[in-house]
Amino acid sequence: MEVNIKRLAEELNLSIATVSRALRDSHEVNPETKKRVLQLAAKLNYQPNPFASSLRAQKSKTIGVIIPEVDNNFFSLAIKGIEDVAQEKGYHVLVYLTHENVIKEVEITRLLQGGRVDGILMSVSSETAHIEHLLELQKKNIPIVFFDRVCEALDPPKVTTDDYESGFKATEHLVESGCKRIAFLQISNNLSIGRKRFKGYTDALEKNQLSFDESLLIVGTKNEVENYAAIKQMLTSANPPDGVFASVESLAITTYYVCKEIERKIPSHVKIISFSNLTTAALLAPSLTTITQPAYNIGKEAMTILFRLLKKNNYPYKKHVVLSSTLIKRDSTSPL
């Protein structure tokens, strides 16, 4: 037998309304009665049915987090930040993975239009060029906050790393280390993070009187094998780079694999720098200089902003919060 308000009311000879009020700690209920209600509720281990309340109140105290992947320390840490704030505010967190697939992204946003969530935190999939599904959410007045991979064409709040700065300082780091021909491994041309990091890279080159060589740009795909081949071709070309800037971790890893294979065929002084949140990797790999994003804080900040939107308390908040990355330098020069 389920224990619900009706049951409590019967056992206490009270109306369900009074019990409901007592449970919500209303001030218009006799302290004595309140106590009796709470005691019985505790004794029977009463738990309110969230669907009944949600149906009534038309809100769910639940948010949806839509991300491309999770097997990547950045998103794990972001989820942690999100969850911490959510738990503190009494919100529940639904997690959805798109696997970088727009079709799935659209399906998920559709699903969430039924009222299941009060708001959405989102990092767009790399393919996202169309934005109709995001507009639909706006039309339904479901607040969104973008984080990391934002949709620049839309006006909802955004929380990101200082991607341009990061690209700039990563490149300068390689220049300072003596690199003259610096390759750039791009995640995707459809993502603002990629474009901004790339702009930082080209600007840093220019500032240092280095010209941008198109043959040193590789745009990654979802196909690891393709990426591997492209990187290998570049590193074994007649005029290979002496430095590699991976704008995303997976491409740095692939680069390491390539280096391992061709070990003897390339100059051993190729320097690699990469975006990465695997502090472990950075620690264990003396050769990997990394740009580490404030993943946890990005999640925290995004959730905090979403919470304010949900509460409609018109706190002032920045439309676009930019958090700084950290450059963790390593000493060794060779990746191997």
Partner DNA sequence: CTGTTAGCGCTTTCAG
Partner DNA sequence: CTGAAAGCGCTAACAG
Which residues are at the interface with DNA (CB under 7 A)? 2, 4-6, 13-18, 20-21, 23-24, 27-33, 48-49, 52-53, 55-58
Q: Which is nearer to a second copy, 72 or 171 (CB)?
A: 72
Q: Which is nearer to a second copy, 31 or 114 (CB)?
A: 114
- Asked if 65 and 108 count as a contact pair (C-beta separation under 8 A), the reply is no
Q: Which is nearer to DNA, 57 or 238 (CB)?
A: 57
Q: Which two tokens stand for residue 290?
A: 């990394």
Q: Which two tokens stand for residue 164?
A: 């341009």
Q: Classify residue 208 by burial, with Cβ atoms within 10 Å: 0-12, 13-18, 19+.
A: middle
Q: Using the rule CB under 8 A, which residue among 1, 225, 238, 284 binds a second copy?
A: 284
- For residue 113, give the nearest of 90, 91, 138 by alpha carbon: 138
Q: Which is nearer to a second copy, 59 or 181 (CB)?
A: 59
Q: Which positions from 63 to 82 touch a second copy by CB under 8 A, shown as an x/- string? A: ------xxxxx-xxx-xx--
Q: Is 302 in the site for a second copy (CB under 8 A)?
A: no
Look-up of token digits 């790399």? 126
Q: Is 178 in the site for a second copy (CB under 8 A)?
A: no
Q: Which is nearer to a second copy, 260 or 269 (CB)?
A: 260
Q: Which is nearer to DNA, 29 or 97 (CB)?
A: 29
Sign of the CA dihedral 65, 69, 71, 74?
A: negative
- Say how far apart CA 109 and CA 126 lie, in whole Å: 16
User: Within 81-100, which residues bind a second copy (CB under 8 A)?
Assistant: 83-84, 87, 92-97
Q: Is 136 in the site for a second copy (CB under 8 A)?
A: yes
- Say how far apart CA 72 and CA 30 lie, in whole Å: 54
Give the CA distances from residue 316 to residues 127, 157, 312, 321, in Å, rounded to whole numbers and listed in that order: 32, 12, 11, 12
Look-up of token digits 């690199």? 179
Applying CB under 8 A, the residues found at the interface with a second copy are: 45, 47-52, 54-55, 60, 62, 69-73, 75-77, 79-80, 83-84, 87, 92-97, 104, 110-111, 113-116, 136, 249, 253, 256-257, 278, 280-281, 283-285, 287-288, 296
